[in-house]
Chains A and B, each alone.
Chain A
Amino acid sequence: MRLVLPTRWRQRRLSMGALGALAVALAFPAAAQSGDIDALLLADAPAAPTVAARDWQLFSELAAGQVHTLLGRDRDNQRVSLDLQIDHSLAPGWRAVLADRLDVSWPPQVGQEHPINTLKEAWVGWQASDTQAVDLGRINARFGVATGYSPTDYFRTGSIRSVVSVDPGSLKKNRQGAFMLRSQAVWDQGALTALFSPRLAAQPSSTPFALNEGATNASNRWLLAWSQRLNDQFNPQWLLYGEERQAPQTGFNLATLINDSTVAFAEWSGGRSRSQLAQALDLPEDRSFHQRLSAGATWTAASKLSLTLEYSRNNAALSAPAWRALQNSASIGYAMYRNWTITAQEMATRNMYAVYAHWPDALVPHLELNAMVRANAADHSQLHWLELRYHWSQIDLAMQWQGSKGSARSEFGAVPHAWELSVRKYF
């Protein structure tokens, strides 16, 4: 039974309670800091020895999963990977960089060979001063600010040798650079980069341990990139890219802060070229001006969840009617066009929308969630990808799932449903 006190008594009781609390606070000011004292006692634990910096990173990965093929069968997959990255000072001003990845897959990714080695980088650099440097070797020269489709990433063509995930982050990490000579001058607020990548071979090689220079150095190419920081908000980059038998392409990159939680970005490339279909099928065609664009924004919540919305446009790709016509044709043109766009990492049609999510410490500490949805605006096909990754100090456990929506001949409908469980150990 609840005792109901008269109003006067209740007021008196409240007043006495408030007085009591005040008396405790006055008598024991440290009581208000008891949480602080517990925390300080915790922090008194002996300090662990400081970890020394090192110039290498090595991890191995074991993965097993299943692919639901377009023929309706399930196929088991297993993979072992080793990934090494070294950036070593040889002498004052001199450095050597090596990045290599070995994937051994059952069944093989392509053909009969189980291993595929990707020599990502192997170069030597000489830095005459803090402001001038020259590098020579296989270099992963990457430009662009977009999360997914990146029009100014001019050296992406032919760079993928082994696909272990459709995640754009994985595709950007697990790729081979091009052989080139690169020089860079930096000043207080800007930088100028110039590079030349020569033609070394005409055909790519599928031999497991091939350098595969035919994929990355099939023609003479050059690039100039100029960055100038205008203020805290604007640090644009302009690019000029040239390739043997192609007209020069100009590019532009900008990422700027909208507010404390939002970054907007835009990446544009334009120039005269043949359409993608003409290049894929080697059709004679007059060059015309084509533009490529990726623009969007990344918003981050207080919970650390980051969402990126990205719109991509490629005028050199097929229009919706032309894509429908190619999908429905019986010729090998469809296969040739798809192969060309996959090798060049280009869009199949003109418009694409994408949403990317990245959530470190998702709901529980050390659990990371990554997700992607891409949608083709012409055939309405979709690509879905989800990853849950849990970190221990030196081990990652990851579960990936990919799926698609759309007809078998749509851009993403042909991507099989698959899942993979992997364990990664860092050394």
Chain B
Amino acid sequence: MKKQCKSLLALLAFCMGTAWAAPSAQEILAASDAVRNPDFSFGLTNTLIEYRKGQQTDTNTLAIYSKADASSGQFRSLVRFVAPARDTNKLMLYSGKDLWFFDPSSKASIRLSPQQRLLGQASNGDVVTVNLAKDYGAQLAGEEDTQDGERKTRHCYKLALSAQTPDVSYPRIDIWIDTGNHQPIKARYYADSGQLLKTAYFRHYQRQLGQERPTETVIIDGLDPTWVTVMRFTDWTRREVPDAWLQRDYLPRFKPE
């Protein structure tokens, strides 16, 4: 009887342990990626509005077509400039550090370095989607309450991310992810030196392409908090993005719809 009781307790402990096993930090990060990014190719419109010292100073509209690379799992994107008028129909191909810019008026396809930003505050990597879990190693730094982008208190995992590949824009990121639904709430991006570069809030969750996703990202400059960029995502569409589109030689030929 005593032996049976021990076995029962051991089984109970095993079952409880299995049922309550906390997800790893990397799994939390991957789940948060899945909230931001559909697991199929898609298109959306990204409207960037830049503010300095409380005044709107710039606006850009981009049509973005994204597809996860079959081998790396990372997204590759084709970005078409919609507005302002001077940039209409210029293109940017984004595939990690393989970056190309195409100007239809000069027919020039120019290779860019990651440092060559085409927009104000946002880096090239900010405007397209990325799967953080593919490029970063995550460690659980704790759980804490934090305010989300709509000033509501959310209970979050705080993850410390460190780059596992040189193909990323930021070497270190702290990200807060809701413990209940794995929605990313905010992230802080740091330079190698530890200097805060940017803070991003992921907010205005709406049902898009099958689940609740953030439809707005607010980026705040690390040095100058009055320098703010709002990225609004609209026109979410599930669509085919052929691999042939995602290369330099297709840029002069790209004509969606």
Contact A227 B108 (CB under 8 A): no
Least CB distance from A391 to B in Å reads: 7
Contact B218 A43 (CB under 8 A): yes
B73 in the interface (beta carbon within 8 A): no
| Contact pick for B147, options A33, A130, A262, CB 8 Å | A33
Contacts of A145 in B (CB 8 A): 109-111
Contact B220 A55 (CB under 8 A): no
B6 in the interface (beta carbon within 8 A): no
B151 in the interface (beta carbon within 8 A): yes
Assembled-state Cα–Cα distance A378/B95 (Å):
42
Contact A85 B47 (CB under 8 A): no
Contacts of B245 in A (CB 8 A): 130
> In chain B between 237 and 255, which residues have their CB closer than 8 angstroms to a CB of chain A?
242-245, 247-250, 253, 255
Assembled-state Cα–Cα distance A256/B253 (Å):
22
Contact B113 A257 (CB under 8 A): yes
| Contact pick for B85, options A57, A127, A141, A257, CB 8 Å | A57
A306 in the interface (beta carbon within 8 A): yes
- B85-128: contact bitstring with A at CB < 8 Å (1 yes, 0 no)? 11011000001111000011111111111111100100000000
> Interface segment, B10-18, B58-66, B154-162?
B58-66
Contacts of B103 in A (CB 8 A): 173
Contacts of B147 in A (CB 8 A): 30, 33, 37
Assembled-state Cα–Cα distance A232/B166 (Å):
12
Identify the interface centre among A37, A43, A85, A300: most chain B CB within 10 Å of its CB: A43
- Return the chain A residue nearest B221 by Cβ: A39
> Interface segment, B26-34, B76-84, B205-213?
B76-84
Contact A365 B106 (CB under 8 A): no
Contacts of A42 in B (CB 8 A): 51, 54, 228
> Interface segment, A6-14, A64-72, A182-190, A315-323?
A182-190
Residues of chain B at interface, number, CB under 8 A: 70
B75 in the interface (beta carbon within 8 A): no
| Contact pick for B247, options A36, A190, A366, CB 8 Å | A190
A133 in the interface (beta carbon within 8 A): yes
Contact A131 B113 (CB under 8 A): no
- Return the chain A residue nearest B232 by Cβ: A47
> In chain B between 184 and 219, which residues have their CB closer than 8 angstroms to a CB of chain A?
199, 201, 203, 216, 218
Assembled-state Cα–Cα distance A42/B201 (Å):
13
- Return the chain B residue nearest A264 by Cβ: B111
> Knowing A95-B255, A232-B96 touch, does A50 contact B113 (C-beta < 8 A)?
no
Assembled-state Cα–Cα distance A174/B218 (Å):
39
- A121-142: contact bitstring with B at CB < 8 Å (1 yes, 0 no)? 0000101001101000000111
14 further interface pairs, Cβ-Cβ under 8 Å (given A298-B116, A365-B58, A391-B86): A30-B147, A39-B51, A42-B54, A43-B216, A50-B45, A50-B61, A57-B89, A87-B104, A186-B244, A186-B253, A229-B248, A235-B247, A261-B113, A300-B116
Minimum-distance CB pairs A-B, first 8:
A35-B225, A191-B249, A426-B85, A255-B111, A261-B115, A142-B107, A300-B115, A51-B83
B residues adjacent to A (C-beta < 8 A): 45, 47, 49, 51-52, 54, 56-59, 61, 63, 80, 82-86, 88-89, 95-98, 103-117, 120, 147, 149-151, 167, 199, 201, 203, 216, 218, 220, 225-226, 228, 230, 232, 234-235, 242-245, 247-250, 253, 255-257
